[in-house]
Structure 1
Amino acid sequence: MRTKRITGVLAALAMAVATGVAVSVTPASAAGGCAGRIIDHQDLTAINGPYVGQFVGRVNLYWDGTYNCVVFTKAGGPYYGVPTPMGVLIENEAGEFRQDPTERTFYSYYAGPAKVNGVGQSIRWTAKLLDSSDTVIAHYEQDFYH
């Protein structure tokens, strides 16, 4: 049953990133939104497109004693400051999940925050960066843990 739930959640994130709104934010505001401290992170490099192997950003997982929160920030590299579809998703073992965006959105600097209650629960988190033709440029998924 969890496999169906996870598949549905991933499909929702893919659909959100694939359906279209333009948003531009400043890099300074990327640090906002998640309280607490960074407890995990993953640097992402391009896996497709003309910049394969180049660093494109970092996804950070935060913990504030009650909530886990995730933000994916473009950091340097060829996509920094360039509006592209990107998104994050976080889910706890109870099945509560949040994603940003909820529809296809072009971000210049970051996607998120998205947070769920994490008290006594493992969580799963995902980040994805696409190009304007919806080719996956970078993707990360951490299965349930923490």
Structure 2
Amino acid sequence: MKSILTLIVVLTAATLTFGQTPEELADLQLNGYNNRDIETFLSAYSDSVKVYNFPATLLYTGKENMRKRYSDMFDKMPDLHCELVNRIVEGHTVIDHENVTFDKSKPTMRAIAIYKVSEGKIQEVYFIVERPQ
């Protein structure tokens, strides 16, 4: 009985420490994005998140920079929507293939987002973007 109780305590502590799975964090930020809910969107990211154009061009660092960029987009783009086309989850990495609509009167943008998760938050994001012609 004592070993079962110890196991429960360890598993509970691990859940509190690490929170959601990488896939759950990817879902959380996607739902926040599609609902234009900046707080839900940002809750998946670490305070020091790094955002890149793939493979290694740093665009910006930090959740507050992300807040500024996405708050403006959420406010100004009523058609904003991201459709998840396909997802691969491997360990602490989530790779999403997405179709992103900014304006319904314009073609969607195809993108790949790679989320690197550690310490219970998304730490790095890499984007591969195919802009409509």
In our comparison, the structure showing a higher alpha carbon Rg is: 2
Q: Which has the higher contact order (CA 8 A, sep 6+)?
A: 1
> Do the two structures share a fold, i.e. TM-score over 0.5?
no
More helix by share: 2
